[in-house]
Structure 1
């Protein structure tokens, strides 16, 4: 990876999440909470519709960082606060997450802090989202 500077923008990531993605994620994560697949359960919980798993949303955000950093080995820490649910309609389009990230700080120990913004339908769904990335040495 070449020299990284504060203010450097990572490539924007747009990711659609459908109900089928929720089923696949539930199976992989073992999280079968009904608000992620049942319209009735979502309504009973006061939600407008079925919602995506919060950790799935965070995983999409981290994908933008790992794609930029060159793989999973680069991210050493990640955080995020779930600001609002990602409503996933029961259609072929689902919901689109838009991930934008920027290098916010270059640390002395060959690491950088990346601040991340994730929106759905123009509204922030994750806040205070960031990743700490260990930069690869030039010979790697």
Structure 2
């Protein structure tokens, strides 16, 4: 676990972390089982294309969950996150065989020293396009 950052050491615009998330079809199968989301757009290529998608896509909640790990890695405490929200803006197609690489970067978006919170803005992209918009986590430090 990381040492918890001190609010007085932070500045708006400061990067708090970055990571590349590798997504495979096996990840989607495991997530479907754990979440109960067995929608065929997440495992059936033919079905996904028939409904207008570019192919099998990652679960939005899977992508959202993987993205926030940048914040939990930074704080060292998942319980420090008091609010987290995103808007799903694009799907993440996952090839078979192969993998999708989702890039995540977190920066300090706002600091409320009185409340002891920091808003972390996440940029989450696949092939250069944002897949999560307004991805923000509020963390109590």
Q: TM-score, normalising length from structure 1?
A: 0.92
- Structure 1: how far apart are the matches of 2:121 and 2:53? 28
1:26 to 32, 38, 60: 32
- What do residues 77-117 of structure 1 show as CA deviations (whole Å, max 9, x unaligned)? 111111110000011x3100100111011112111001111
Q: Find the partner of 1:72 among 58, 72, 78.
A: 78
Per the alignment, residue 99 of structure 2 pairs with 94
State the TM-score, normalizing by the size of structure 2: 0.92
Among residues 132, 135, 138, which one is paired with 1:129 in the alignment? 135
Count of matched residue pairs: 134
Give the unaligned 5+ runs of structure 1: 136-140
Q: What is the CA-CA distance between 1:14 and the residue it aligns to?
A: 0.4
Secondary structure of 1:128 counterpart: strand
What CA RMSD, in Å, does the superposition of the two structures yield over aligned residues? 0.9
> Is the contact made by 2:17 and 2:107 (CA closer than 8 Å) also made in structure 1?
no
Mark the runs of 5 or more structure 2 residues left unpaired by the alignment. none
2:121 counterpart residue number: 115
Q: Give the alignment partner of residue 35 of structure 1, picking from 27, 38, 41.
A: 41
C-alpha distance in 1 between matches for 2:66 and 2:47: 25
Q: Does 1:63 align with 2:63?
A: no
Equivalent-residue separation in structure 2 for 1:78 and 1:133 (angstroms) = 9
Helix, strand or coil at the partner of 1:125: strand
| Cα distance between partner residues in 2 of 1:7 and 1:35 | 37
